[in-house]
Amino acid sequence: MRRLSRLRLYLVNPFNPLVSILNVRENVWNQFRVWKPLSLLVIAGLTPDEWEVTIFDENLGVPDYAALPRPDLVGITAFTSQANRAYALSAEFRARGVPVVLGGIHVSMRTEEACARADSVVIGEAESVWHQVLTDARAGALEPTYLGSWEALGDRPPARHALLPTGYRFGSIQLSRGCPLACSFCSVSQFNGMRYRSRPVAQAIAELRQIPEKLVLVVDDNVIGTSRQHVAHAKELFRAMADAKLGKRWMGQATINVADDEELIELAARSGCFGLFIGFESPSREGLEEIGKKFNRVRDRDLRASVRRLQRHGIMVAGSFVLGLDVDTEGIGRRIAEAGDAYGVDLLNVLFMTPLPGTRLWDTLAAEGRIVANTFPEDWQYYTLTFPVAQHRHLSWSRMIDEMNDTTRVFYSYGRIARRALSSLWRTRGLFAPFVTVATNLSFKLNGQLDRRTWRGLDLDRGAPVVAVPQPEA
Ligand code: SF4
């Protein structure tokens, strides 16, 4: 029974129907690509017991909020592509007299826009200010904004992983934050700072034990960091995870540097790592220069050998690429697919070059007047990285879509999927890795079809290239 003195807090992860990765009804394989909304579990962990917390992940279904007990406070998080749903939800609750606090990366980068649509906005990381938000909410005196600081990741309660119902294949955890680099398309350094901060090992192990799911996504942007000390910390963490016999299999993200250290790879594998997303970003040196991704520009790095070293330890490699850079010309879709195949990656994750607020790319394209989907907040729904939203130098929007279709068609042909699964079976001599390879490959292939359906509504004429493609003379 609800204690009379307890206040009711709803935390909501808004949905975006245009994000095909979340559509589990139409693509059953997507259940292997959906994880618990970690930021809300973290906020729940920071919330004192006088508040009764309920989390709603709209990706699992949108509840009838009006039929539920009236909350005392609502907190809504949002990536850019979720922003207009977050604002609509905020309006719905505020119309009922419920105060709403918005947080997350989008509202931190577009604070003025968010302030006009909520009672309060948390800018940056919430840990340092959340208690004050709750105290002020209780007193009916919310400030318009709260500015979070970049604190050490040591003293904080664990995320409340058990708050959400089962129905997720993947639990999630964050073990580090921040990045000293500033790749043009990335806002991590703006949001989490340029200093890499790691969780203490014992605290990380204690929280991992609380995650009910066997599969875990480590959401860090780079699990190994960028310096020798960071790598030493990662080794200590992986060793402790292995010794703790957690019985978890985990996936994460890292730079290609992870493949340079045999001991690091071995410890990662022993700790349960079965897959890493690695940003290759572009098949061309000019593309890497454009993005500013330092690690990948090391001369003479043998990317195929790097991928093989990880795979020899049973770690799948998911290669991420960006399509639509200024250097990209006709045929880039196939070139990316062929590069992924040449590197020997198990999965290919290709996203449209998208200027997200808070990135250098946004500043550049905005200054050049090249942001085409610019009716905000409505157009934020297209900032899923699966829609063209800006003007590209050499490619029109319809050409971009053709290129993306080419990538999917070439890399995810049934023949190539079968070859990858067999190769994974040969390498690992077990069924887990080949199964994951097939499940994730089919997920990407079917999502390509779902994306094609959502692209049908786009006004392709809006996205003419900056440098017009020469037309044959009449
Ligand atoms: S893409 Fe990765 S390496 Fe580049 S700035 Fe973002 S987190 Fe750092």
| Closest atom of ligand 1 to CA, residue 179 | 8
Ligand 1 pocket, mutate which of 189, 192, 353 (most atoms under 8 A from CB):
189
- pLDDT at res. 29: 63
Contact 336, 283 (CB under 8 A): yes
Residue 121 has pLDDT above 60, yes or no: yes
- pLDDT at res. 32: 63
Contact 343, 304 (CB under 8 A): yes
Q: Is the CB of 183 under 6 A from ligand 1?
A: yes
- Write out pLDDT tens, residues 164-189: 877 788 899 999 999 888 889 999 98
Contact 162, 210 (CB under 8 A): yes
**Domain chopping of the chain, boundaries:** 7-147, 169-455
- pLDDT at res. 181: 86
**193 alpha carbon – ligand 1 mean position (Å):** 11
Q: Is the CB of 291 under 6 A from ligand 1?
A: no
> 225: number of CA atoms within 13 Å, CB side?
20
- pLDDT at res. 319: 97
Neighbours of 325 (CB within 10 A): 26
- pLDDT at res. 266: 98
Average pLDDT, whole number, for the chain? 92
- Write out pLDDT tens, residues 237-250: 999 999 999 999 99
Query: Atom 6 of ligand 1 has which residue's CA nearest to it?
Result: 186
Q: Is the pTM higher than 0.85?
A: yes
Q: How far apart are CA 397 and CA 463, in angstroms?
A: 5
Query: Atom 3 of ligand 1 has which residue's CA nearest to it?
Result: 181
Q: How far apart are CA 409 and CA 334, in angstroms?
A: 9
- Write out pLDDT tens, residues 460-471: 888 899 986 565
Ligand 1 pocket, mutate which of 183, 297, 353 (most atoms under 8 A from CB):
183
Tell me what the mean pLDDT of segment 226-236 comes to: 96
List Cα–Cα distances, 244 to 41, 114, 413, in angstroms.
23, 43, 40
Residue 65 has pLDDT above 60, yes or no: yes
* CATH code that applies to domain 169-455: 3.80.30.20
pLDDT cut 70: percent of the chain above it: 93
CATH fold for the domain made of 7-147:
Rossmann fold (3.40.50)
Residue 458 has pLDDT above 70, yes or no: yes
- Write out pLDDT tens, residues 313-333: 999 999 999 999 999 999 999
- pLDDT at res. 59: 83
- pLDDT at res. 1: 43
Q: Is the CB of 223 under 6 A from ligand 1?
A: no
Q: Say which residue, 35 or 73, is predicted with more confidence.
A: 73
The tokens describing 305, both together, are: 């050998």
The tokens describing 239, both together, are: 């060793």
b/e code 337-370 from CB counts within 10 Å (16+ = b): bebbbebbbbbbbbbbbbbbbbbbbbeebeeeeb
Q: How far apart are CA 242 and CA 220, in angstroms?
A: 19
- pLDDT at res. 462: 87
Contact 151, 125 (CB under 8 A): yes
Tell me what the mean pLDDT of segment 1-16 comes to: 82
